[in-house]
Every structure is written in structure tokens, then in C-alpha cells.
């Protein structure tokens, strides 16, 4: 018996993915995904189109979100799964985050202008059809051959400590989980091994997340190796959280994050879909 393939973290042109919601769903189906969550950054604008495409190709669609959260001045991504996009406080909160994103993009643009690259803001905006993010800036820098790849663009300009990094105060953990739960969804810590926190701090974060009824850790994802997945399964067990699986797909050109190509959850890690119908 072949098992069901879940991919519960992906992006479309509604945020910083390069495929339209329809093209994303088609590629997911071709890649053998049975259950796909669309989790764009701070936007649910791709949901209707993705749901229609999924119905057409016969895969299950999970409406999702990836919310930008500031926890003790650190950027944390919280995925929401199974959310009703029509929950007004969710949309109100996401709209506020998009205003902050727009203001941050302008500030990043001003930083590039200051170092002699005045066209970068317009270039990045030209690549964004929905929510504008740092990845659009990185993509533009690659396009104009300022850097050799996306990684280098982040490393040279866009990460904390670099010249064109612009800090931003996102949603609080409490707000994000409140919106997700109010919208009927489950909250998942996205790519948990990517946050550069000490064990003590990370545990404090997980306890805060658990106290707010957070459901799961993304135990397996494209940015975790087998050891990190194992480590995260251990935290999930210790804190009492389920495990989620997501590719964090953004583009077919990215060879290390392919739709549906994520390792299965480590044995004994209960999945976030345990109680799904």
C-alpha cells in the first residue's frame, strides 16, 4: 500500500513563490502530492484559485498561511493549516502585516538607493504580484547580476547585520495563534531548526507556543537534514506537539525544495493530520 503524500508548506505568486496557485497545484499533482497546503506569507489571496485547481486535478487542498511573527525581537514563521480565510480578525491582522511589508520594502529600497542602487526597489516590486518580500529583492539582484544567486543576495545585503536589512515588528505570537485558532486552524512552527536560538531559549519559545495551544512543529522540511528532523521530533515529543511535513516550495528552479519531496516523519512522531477527516 502506498502512503498518502502530504506537503503542508508551499508558496505561490500571492507571496514570494514563482508559480500561480493553479500552476503550483498542477505541479503538486504531477509530483505525486495527495494533500497540499498553500501557505503564502501573510496572504490568503491564492486560496480560491488553488482550491478550484485542486478540485479539478483531484488532490486535497488545505487552505493555509505563513504568518510573520516577532518573538523577543526574533523573526519566527508560524504556519496555519486548515484556516477559514473569511474570519475577519485574521484578514484584519494580515492586512496590517502587508502594510508593514510595504513600508519595510520602501525602507529596504531606500537603503539600496543609499549605496548607489536606486533601481532595486522598483525592480523588486516588478517581480512581486502579491505580497512583496525580501526574496523579490534577492531575485532582482540575481537578475541584474549583482550577485550570483539568491543565497548570496541574502548573505551580502538582506540578512540581519547587512547594509540593506530593515528591521520590522511583526505580529506577536499570541496574535498569530489567536487569528489561526479563530479561523478554525492549527498552528505549526515553520522550519524550527532554522532559528538561531540556544536550547534554553528555543525551549522557552516552544513552551510559549504550547501554552497558546500551538499544535505542531514542522519536523521535516527542505531546510532540515535528517539529524535536525530527529532533534525536532524529540522536542515535539517532549513538549507535546505533533509533527508536520512541508517542502516550503517557492520555485521549480530551486533544486533543494521540491514539491512533495520531503522525508517522512520519524517513526513515533504523531502527524498534524492525525485527526483530520
154 binds ligand AMP (CB under 6 A): yes
| Spatial distance between the Cα atoms of 62 and 82, rounded to a whole number of angstroms | 6
49 binds ligand AMP (CB under 6 A): no
Looking only at residues 211 through 270 of this chain, which bind ligand AMP when binding is defined by CB under 6 A?
250
- Grid cell for residue 242: 505533533
41 binds ligand AMP (CB under 6 A): yes
For residue 258, count other CB atoms closer than 10 A to its CB: 15
Helix (H) or strand (E) run with residue 92 in it: helix 88-114
Please measure the distance between the N-terminal and C-terminal CA atoms of the chain and give it in whole angstroms.
20
> What track of x and - describes contact with Mn ion for positions 7 through 46 (by CB under 5 A)?
---------x------------------------------
For ligand AMP, give the closer residue by CB, 80 or 133: 133
| Spatial distance between the Cα atoms of 200 and 90, rounded to a whole number of angstroms | 31
Q: Shortest distance, CB of residue 252 to ligand AMP, whole angstroms? A: 15
37 binds ligand AMP (CB under 6 A): no
CB-based closest residue to ligand AMP? 133
Q: Shortest distance, CB of residue 67 to ligand AMP, whole angstroms? A: 10
For ligand AMP, give the closer residue by CB, 15 or 22: 15
Q: Contact region for Mn ion (CB under 5 A) — 70-78, 85-93, 114-122, 174-182?
A: 70-78
* Burial state string for 226-248 with b = 16 or more CB within 10 A and e = fewer than 16: eebbebbbebbeeeebbbbbbbb
Beta bridge partners of 188: 79, 216
Backbone dihedral region of 98: left (phi > 0), alpha (psi from -120 to 50 degrees) or beta?
A: alpha
Which residue, among 96, 151, 149, 105, has the nearest Cα to 127 in the 3D structure?
Answer: 105
Q: Shortest distance, CB of residue 40 to ligand AMP, whole angstroms? A: 10
Residues near Mn ion (CB under 5 A): 16, 66, 77, 190, 248
Residues near ligand AMP (CB under 6 A): 16, 41, 68, 133-135, 150-151, 154, 250
Amino acid at each position: 500500500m502506498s502512503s498518502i503524500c502530504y506537503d503542508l508548506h508551499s508558496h505561490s505568486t500571492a507571496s514570494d513563490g514563482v508559480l500561480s496557485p493553479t500552476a503550483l497545484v498542477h505541479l503538486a499533482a504531477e509530483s505525486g502530492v495527495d494533500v497540499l497546503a498553500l501557505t503564502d506569507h501573510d496572504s490568503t489571496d491564492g486560496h480560491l484559485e488553488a482550491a478550484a485547481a485542486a478540485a479539478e486535478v483531484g488532490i486535497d487542498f488545505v487552505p493555509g498561511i505563513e504568518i510573520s511573527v516577532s518573538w523577543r525581537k526574533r523573526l519566527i514563521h508560524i504556519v496555519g493549516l486548515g484556516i477559514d480565510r473569511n474570519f475577519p480578525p485574521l484578514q484584519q491582522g494580515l492586512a496590517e502585516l502587508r502594510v508593514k511589508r510595504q513600508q519595510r520594502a520602501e525602507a529596504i529600497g531606500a537603503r539600496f538607493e543609499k549605496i548607489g542602487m536606486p533601481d532595486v526597489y522598483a525592480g523588486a516590486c516588478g517581480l512581486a504580484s502579491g505580497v512583496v518580500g525580501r526574496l523579490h529583492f534577492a531575485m532582482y539582484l540575481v537578475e541584474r547580476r549583482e550577485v550570483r544567486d539568491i543565497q548570496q543576495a541574502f548573505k551580502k545585503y538582506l540578512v540581519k547585520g547587512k547594509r540593506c536589512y530593515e528591521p520590522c515588528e511583526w505580529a506577536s505570537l499570541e496574535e498569530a495563534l489567536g487569528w489561526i485558532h479563530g479561523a478554525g486552524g492549527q498552528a505549526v512552527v515553520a522550519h524550527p531548526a532554522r532559528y538561531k536560538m540556544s536550547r534554553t531559549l528555543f525551549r522557552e519559545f516552544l513552551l510559549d507556543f504550547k501554552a497558546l495551544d500551538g499544535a505542531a512543529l514542522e519536523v521535516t522540511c527542505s531546510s532540515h537534514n535528517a539529524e535536525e528532523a530527529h532533534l525536532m521530533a524529540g522536542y515535539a515529543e517532549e513538549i507535546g506537539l505533533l509533527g508536520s511535513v512541508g517542502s516550503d516550495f517557492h520555485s521549480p528552479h530551486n533544486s533543494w525544495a521540491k514539491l512533495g519531496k520531503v522525508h517522512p516523519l520519524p517513526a513515533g512522531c504523531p502527524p498534524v493530520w492525525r485527526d483530520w477527516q
